[in-house]
Structure 1
Amino acid sequence: MMAIIRDTEQRPSPEALLEAARRENGGGRLKIFLGAAPGVGKTYEMLQSAHAKVKAGVDVVVGVVETHGRLETQALLHGLEILPRKALAYKGQTLDEMDLDGLLARRPKLAIVDELAHTNAPGSRHPKRYMDVEELLDNGIDVYTAVNIQHIESLNDVVAQITRVRVRETVPDSIIDRADDIELVDLTPGDLIQRLKEGKVYVPKQAERALEHYFSSGNLTALRELALRRTAERVDEQLLNHMQANAISGPWAAGERILVCVSEDPRAAGLIRYTKRLADRLHAPWTAICIETRRSLQLSDAERDRIATTLRLAEALGADALTIPAVERRIADDILTFARANNVTQIVIGKATRSWWFELVRGSVVHDLVRRAGNISIHVIAGDKLDPETFAGKGVRTAERAEAADPVPYVWSLALVAVALGISKLIFPFLGIENVDLVFLTVVVTVAVRFGLFPSLVASIAASLCYNFFFLPPVYTFTITDPTNVAAFFFFMLIAMIVSNVAARVRTQAVMATGRARTTEYLYSFSRKLAGTATLDDVLWATAYQTALMLKVRVVLLLPEHGRIVVKAGYPPEDELDQADLAAANWAWSNDRPAGRGSDTLPGAKRLFLPMRTGRGPIGVIGIDDDRTGPILTPDQTRLLDALMDQGALAIERVRLVEDIDHVKRVVETDRLRSALLTSISHDLKTPLSSVLGSASTMRKPGF
């Protein structure tokens, strides 16, 4: 029966349905013929597919095709309607480009547009040809196009590192992700090199240079692997969207996906490292997940820090790190629900170290996973016993949480029980004792939802005593003479306790969800703000302001400059550092560890300084302080600050990388101009120098 209920609850993913609807109603379909290098036969295969469409009765028009003088490719153009190109005048020359307006006016069912990464001539409507393709798709025209792997933006640096050649014309990954179909046109390196030697790719002199540099066997093998991987990634995304849109329960083991379960166990970091090695061996994406239950609120600060640190380690190693609230009664059901929804094929979990009594009362996640996993493989890893100092923290003391006992909820709970007692006394003569207990239970639920578990327990006890004292004979005593009333009193108290516990659990989950949603909203707003900043000053100011706003502290940001650390931004802006703060900031930067107030190093400083890091290492230092004495942040605020620092550090690194790229471009352009100048000078001096040398040679002849 439970299996039937679970199957009926399987619903398509809204995101996947929206994606499917966009593809069905969002215009034309895009098919990309992807190759590892020039000459593998992308255009040839694309034209063959076009001929097959023509035979099937489809209206096909060639917008632009570059044959590069290859006879077999030119032969395939026969029998296809070719749209004349548009001539554009530029600097005294006439350039031919695809006639986009003519193609839109002709409006075929399928347009053939070669060279997706091509840069259009000045004066065209769009600077890039892929933008022309997007406009065709938006107008409901299907498009066949071709591109090489080195032109994909995200792989540009990788290709440059492999081939030592920087490709200038690129297309964004979004156009690849938009493709409805990707056909990989593959050719072994040996066959491609043979085609090159036979002159089927380049003219002989150009082919000889290509063989010496770009078209080496090692380069072609690496590019071929990149093309295969990128195609596999897109196919995997399409498979996952199909499963989610059709509510298909996974896994479909078309490709490996790994999920590792993170808890407060000190050995969780070992699970992360094991999963990283497993993912590298299988060349598979992986995710680290933590299920947040009601018990999570009872964890100590050290255990919460341990979970946060473990998830940050997973992110640093390339995983997607997620924390999701528990929905099912068993944690194993939440894990399997996520795994099946995301087509996970393997789950890694730590060996249980709980006592037999704990597993008897709360159950064993490991045993439940093994029993319920179905086709998903389960890796149960014992892990190594780590030194407690491994997770001893960052050397920063945190402020104690303000959890002083508040008597107000308890007073309210007793007052509401008194109100319920008055109502019960009024209705008792008319409705009987059967309805009195419902009045008290209503009050218990109200207190549990409004004030939480412990006030509701007090209300349950008070309601039970009132029920006994005022309504169970003999009244006005706590004595119960009738055995039936003893059972009624016992079950009333039991039900009141259970109801208060369930209502308090719902309240706790609502409070957790509200807090998580608020924090997520702030972080999302911060990430959008950082994404829209283009200068370093804007990034620093946004980071300082957001940190001060969310943590209610004063913030300064310091970055290295000319071998020392200097203040670059702050909120409020007029903040200055004294000598003790500067010493703590320099120590934090030099040692990549916290320093200053609340830390183990230079605790006499006014501020606490923490290094900001990315995957490449420390990138700066953030300093915080407030008007209170002692440690500044609570453990929850410390984890929030970690998230803010991570986003800020990545944004700073992004801006600096852009600046470095611009600097490299300027250097390259300077070298190009220098070379052009020297070439021009040498050409201008060549003729007079030849005349001088000729005259000198003549003068040296005998008899002159």
Structure 2
Amino acid sequence: MARGQLRVYLGAAPGVGKTFTMLEEAHRRQGRGTDVVVGFVETHGRKSTAQMIGDLEVVPRKTMTYRGSTFEEMDVDAILARRPQVALVDELAHTNVPGSRNAKRWQDIQQLLDAGITVLSTVNIQHLESLNDVVEQITGITQRETVPDEFARQADQVELVDMTPEALRRRMAHGNVYKPEKIDAALGNYFRVGNLTALRELALLWLADKVDEQLDRYRADHQIGTTWEARERVVVALTGGPEGETLIRRAARIAARTKGADLMVVHVARADGLAGGDPTLLAKQRVLIESLGGTYHQVTGDDIPTALIDFARGVNATQLVLGVSRRSRLAQILSAGVGVTTTNLSGPIDVHLVTHEHVGQGRLRPSAGASPLSRRRQIAGFALALLGLPLLTLALVALKDELSLASDVLLVLAGVVAVALVGGMLPAVAAAVVGFLLLNYFFTEPSHSLNIADRENVLALLVFLVLAVAVAAVVDLAARRTREAAIASADASTLATVAGSVLRGARPLAALLERLRETFGLASVTLLERAPGAADGPARQEDPTAWRIAATVGDPPCRAPGQGDTTVPVDDDLALVLCGRALPAADRRIVEAFAAQAALALRQERLAQEAAKARPLEEADKMRTALLAAVSHDLRTPLASAMAAVASLRSHDVAFSHEDQDELLATAAESHERLYRLIENLLDMSRLQAGALGVTATAVGLEEAVPTALDEIGDAGRQVTVTIPDDLPTVTADPGLLQRILVNVIRNALRFSPPDKPPIITASEHDDQVELRIIDHGPGIPDDLRDRVFQPFQRLGDRDNGTGVGLGLALSRGLAEAMGGTLLPETTPGGGLTMALTMPAAEAGVTATEARATVLAERAIVERINRRNRPTEGSE
């Protein structure tokens, strides 16, 4: 069965017309004879949207009950049974009511698509998962309902329903989006012009990325290799030389001329991996390109111009930036070079050749002229050439009558090869010259003379000399390549080890420096940072006061660059100082790469420290925001009810009966009680977080504490079934705090319990611990959300209409832990939530009677304090 297609109407904000546009498309398809049904369309009370549904067939919604409230959700099973060609499903990011077929509506849509049904849907940009934090920064509002970007990007079509901020605000003011009572608040908060402009730009950029993906897929499917200038993409080619920073900054200025242009850097490494750019410079240039918002890439290839062009075409680049060659003029005459060759191959890609200060200075390669063999082997090669070849010649002279000139030449050539294998290029060349002279003197006519009578002998000796030199060159090149491969392998192994230690370590900078110290057998490795206000000049290198230690391993640390055996400057303000031994030049190259990585690790640690400092401030800000939201609603509601009741009683315009007066007084008393309870919870939570909550532990009997808590709850508490054994030991707790815990947890259980299944309270003893279980048979809490209910100002479920600021369970857990106990949620068998309160059992010497007396005494004290603190009649 073919999979259905998904078409998504994307908007920058509510009210731009996504649902209306979707319905228009549905009518167009129905007019063409397509079987279209409305799976779920949310009109939000907008008459024009409701009228637009018209004669479209609407699949009845499924009615669901959750926490005592009734909700309507899309009936996926009914749509699957109906099997239309096209289904309209509004609000892609919607969260379904618990108990639905799927948790999210996009999962419902996935099932419809798998069944071969084409789906038209809508979503706002703020509901995309990857942009959730960005939207929160712009609007200050957290969007809890999100849809994964991967699902949205898999849509076959995404159509942007766009509207200018001014036009949307006019629609809002005319009452076409929200109800009149919400218009002023919406225009002054979420629907400000700046917010709408930013959201609109986010929607355009996200859609542009989606279009880029479709374009890349189309080009790949149709094997299109030419460049399509749909967007400016600037590619910089780096050799690993010092001119790289100049090229990157020049390319960044080119890209900045076009808004939205992409900036990329590419370095072509040779396929054999034996030669390449300076790793230190490449590391610095990578940091630079990333700081400018670009990306770094590395490809492998033997032919650099071809590899560059292949990469540029692969990313659909429009401009390629190269540096002018650093080779000499003679070298450029002999070979066109990378720049000219790349320009000839570029086709429609514009190539910029950028001049720099290193033009014509040559391309330095480390150890380019040094022999790959040790001095001892070179001496052995010369000795073999000067002694071995004469001895071989004496042996051949003795066999002169039995061997021809050709045999003599081959045997001497073998000797030259042996010298090349032992001593390398120079001894082999010397052996070739010595062999040429010996063959000419002893084996060509006239003998014992350097003259040659036969022309064929001249040719044979010249061929011998050329072959001998060529073989020596090949042997020397193979030795060089072997040495380079060994060095590259050692460097790669060291880098891999360092990278692994950095990734596995909690402190990457310390791990990097420690691995560097161990690898090269150093006494200490220190990363020095220039002290603020330190003066420039040569004296600074020896002045410890001009530097401060950013990180160090080993002992003793170097306190100035001049104190170390090897110093690797990272930039003007950082230097890596090695103590213990001076490193050779070959090792210094890899240490320079490590120094660049150490600078990156230091910057990451500094950023992590700043983030850690900001995290408590962020949490405090979230707490203040949540507290303000709670005060604005949950605290204001009971206060408004009390004020309305009192104002009614004081009114002289209406004569209330005694029953009405009693009801108003009861309303005022209940509202004041709720307000008092909320404020008390807020104050206790503040004391808990500040560590200032006093705990007076004593022996408490649960058979007294639970009924007392139920009495405080009132009539609802009488519905609870309590089963506490008579021989249950007392617990060590603060009586007042324990009662607060019980009241909060039992109220929470009553709020979510079905009317026919009231909560149950049981108690038992286990290993010097007394466990009290408050069991309800409500909807329960998913495992992945259980920790959230214990966070302050959190109430599970976006549609929870219950009262309270979400402090009850958070406060209860904090109080339990303050008294040495725990409060943990568990799943009730058959459905529901069980709160297990565990408290330490009191010492055996404390009896239940003593505990009961303590509870009564504590209760009397609390009552006296409360009466003393209550305002007297007529007080303000």
Coarse TM-score class (shorter-chain normalised): 0.5 to 0.7
Tell me which structure has the larger Cα radius of gyration: 2
Taking the TM superposition and a 5 Å limit, the aligned residue runs for 1:141-156 are 142-156=118-132
Tell me the SS of whatever aligns to 1:259: strand
Q: Which amino acid aligns with 2:643?
A: K
Deviation at 1:258, TM superposition (A): 0.7
Q: Which residue of the other structure, out of 264, 269, 278, is the alignment partner of 1:292?
A: 269
CA distance in 2: counterparts of 1:407 and 1:605, whole angstroms: 30
Q: Which amino acid aligns with 1:323?
A: Q
Q: Which residue of the other structure, out of 647, 652, 670, is the alignment partner of 2:627?
A: 670
Q: Which amino acid aligns with 2:39?
A: G
Matched, 1:339 2:296: no
Deviations 1:628-685 (A, max 9, x none): 7889984424424644774796599579869566554444323333444531452354
What is the RMSD of the two structures over their aligned residues, measured on CA atoms?
A: 5.9
CA distance in 2: counterparts of 1:509 and 1:49, whole angstroms: 66
Match of 2:297 in 1: 322
Matched, 1:485 2:468: no
CA distance in 2: counterparts of 1:486 and 1:666, whole angstroms: 94
Taking the TM superposition and a 5 Å limit, the aligned residue runs for 1:33-48 are 33-48=9-24
CA distance in 1: counterparts of 2:75 and 2:136, whole angstroms: 32
Deviations 1:143-164 (A, max 9, x none): 4332222223333344344445
Deviation at 1:363, TM superposition (A): 3.7
Asked whether the equivalents of residues 324 and 355 of structure 2 are also in contact (C-alpha less than 8 Å), the reply is: yes
Asked whether the equivalents of residues 440 and 451 of structure 2 are also in contact (C-alpha less than 8 Å), the reply is: no
* 1:647–1:235 Cα change, 3 Å: farther
Asked whether the equivalents of residues 498 and 516 of structure 2 are also in contact (C-alpha less than 8 Å), the reply is: no
Asked whether the equivalents of residues 436 and 461 of structure 2 are also in contact (C-alpha less than 8 Å), the reply is: no
Tell me the SS of whatever aligns to 1:192: helix
CA distance in 2: counterparts of 1:105 and 1:375, whole angstroms: 55
Tell me the SS of whatever aligns to 2:190: coil
Asked whether the equivalents of residues 43 and 73 of structure 1 are also in contact (C-alpha less than 8 Å), the reply is: yes
Deviation at 1:260, TM superposition (A): 1.2
Match of 2:639 in 1: 682
Deviations 1:236-258 (A, max 9, x none): 12222333454422311111111
Farther off after superposition, 121-130 or 515-524: 515-524
Match of 1:474 in 2: 443
Asked whether the equivalents of residues 460 and 496 of structure 1 are also in contact (C-alpha less than 8 Å), the reply is: no
Match of 1:359 in 2: 332
Deviations 1:177-221 (A, max 9, x none): 333432222223343333333333223333343333333444333
Tell me the SS of whatever aligns to 2:299: strand
Taking the TM superposition and a 5 Å limit, the aligned residue runs for 1:53-202 are 53=29, 60-78=36-54, 80-103=56-79, 110-124=86-100, 126-134=102-110, 136=112, 142-202=118-178
Match of 2:830 in 1: none
Tell me the SS of whatever aligns to 1:66: coil
Deviation at 1:356, TM superposition (A): 0.4
* 1:234–1:479 Cα change, 3 Å: farther
Deviation at 1:262, TM superposition (A): 2.4
Tell me the SS of whatever aligns to 2:146: coil
Taking the TM superposition and a 5 Å limit, the aligned residue runs for 1:504-523 are none
Asked whether the equivalents of residues 274 and 485 of structure 2 are also in contact (C-alpha less than 8 Å), the reply is: no
Match of 1:7 in 2: none
Deviation at 1:313, TM superposition (A): 0.7
- Structure 2 unaligned spans of 5+: 360-370, 397-401, 528-543, 656-876
Match of 2:745 in 1: none
* 1:42–1:494 Cα change, 3 Å: farther
Matched, 1:376 2:337: no
Match of 1:639 in 2: 593
Deviation at 1:539, TM superposition (A): 4.6
Farther off after superposition, 34-43 or 349-358: 349-358
Asked whether the equivalents of residues 570 and 596 of structure 2 are also in contact (C-alpha less than 8 Å), the reply is: no
CA distance in 2: counterparts of 1:122 and 1:407, whole angstroms: 80
Match of 2:659 in 1: none
Matched, 1:257 2:233: yes
CA distance in 2: counterparts of 1:242 and 1:463, whole angstroms: 62
CA distance in 1: counterparts of 2:41 and 2:438, whole angstroms: 94
Q: Which amino acid aligns with 1:669?
A: A
Match of 1:273 in 2: 249
Deviations 1:78-107 (A, max 9, x none): 454544333332221112223345555666
Q: Which amino acid aligns with 2:317?
A: V
Deviation at 1:610, TM superposition (A): 12
User: Which structure is higher in RCO with an 8 Å CA cutoff and minimum separation 6?
Assistant: 1
CA distance in 2: counterparts of 1:497 and 1:346, whole angstroms: 46
* 1:337–1:459 Cα change, 3 Å: farther
Asked whether the equivalents of residues 292 and 325 of structure 1 are also in contact (C-alpha less than 8 Å), the reply is: yes
CA distance in 2: counterparts of 1:350 and 1:131, whole angstroms: 52
Taking the TM superposition and a 5 Å limit, the aligned residue runs for 1:401-480 are 406=374, 474=443
Q: Which residue of the other structure, out of 582, 587, 601, is the alignment partner of 2:548?
A: 587
* 1:142–1:385 Cα change, 3 Å: same
Match of 2:845 in 1: none
CA distance in 1: counterparts of 2:568 and 2:269, whole angstroms: 31
Match of 1:306 in 2: 281
Taking the TM superposition and a 5 Å limit, the aligned residue runs for 1:611-650 are 634-640=588-594, 642-643=596-597, 646=600
Tell me the SS of whatever aligns to 1:370: helix
Asked whether the equivalents of residues 551 and 637 of structure 1 are also in contact (C-alpha less than 8 Å), the reply is: no
Asked whether the equivalents of residues 566 and 582 of structure 2 are also in contact (C-alpha less than 8 Å), the reply is: no
Q: Which amino acid aligns with 1:150?
A: Q
CA distance in 2: counterparts of 1:229 and 1:550, whole angstroms: 44
Deviations 1:404-432 (A, max 9, x none): 96579889999xx99xxx9xx9xx999x9
Tell me the SS of whatever aligns to 2:268: strand
Tell me the SS of whatever aligns to 1:587: strand
Deviations 1:426-454 (A, max 9, x none): xx999x989979x979x99x98xxx9xx9
- TM-score relative to the length of structure 2: 0.55
Tell me the SS of whatever aligns to 1:214: coil
Farther off after superposition, 176-185 or 506-515: 506-515
CA distance in 2: counterparts of 1:693 and 1:609, whole angstroms: 85
* 1:290–1:75 Cα change, 3 Å: same
Tell me the SS of whatever aligns to 1:167: coil
Farther off after superposition, 509-518 or 201-210: 509-518
Match of 2:743 in 1: none
Q: Which residue of the other structure, out of 183, 193, 200, is the alignment partner of 1:224?
A: 200
Asked whether the equivalents of residues 597 and 605 of structure 1 are also in contact (C-alpha less than 8 Å), the reply is: no
Q: Which amino acid aligns with 1:601?
A: A
* 1:599–1:555 Cα change, 3 Å: closer
CA distance in 2: counterparts of 1:477 and 1:242, whole angstroms: 80
- TM-score relative to the length of structure 1: 0.66
CA distance in 1: counterparts of 2:547 and 2:81, whole angstroms: 66
Deviation at 1:231, TM superposition (A): 1.1
Asked whether the equivalents of residues 227 and 349 of structure 2 are also in contact (C-alpha less than 8 Å), the reply is: yes
Aligned length: 602
Q: Which amino acid aligns with 1:209?
A: A
Deviations 1:97-139 (A, max 9, x none): 2334555566655543321222332334554333444555566
Tell me the percent identity: 31
Taking the TM superposition and a 5 Å limit, the aligned residue runs for 1:550-561 are 552=518
Tell me the SS of whatever aligns to 1:115: coil
Deviation at 1:375, TM superposition (A): 0.6
CA distance in 2: counterparts of 1:132 and 1:516, whole angstroms: 53
Q: Which amino acid aligns with 1:587?
A: R
CA distance in 2: counterparts of 1:108 and 1:471, whole angstroms: 99
CA distance in 1: counterparts of 2:513 and 2:297, whole angstroms: 22
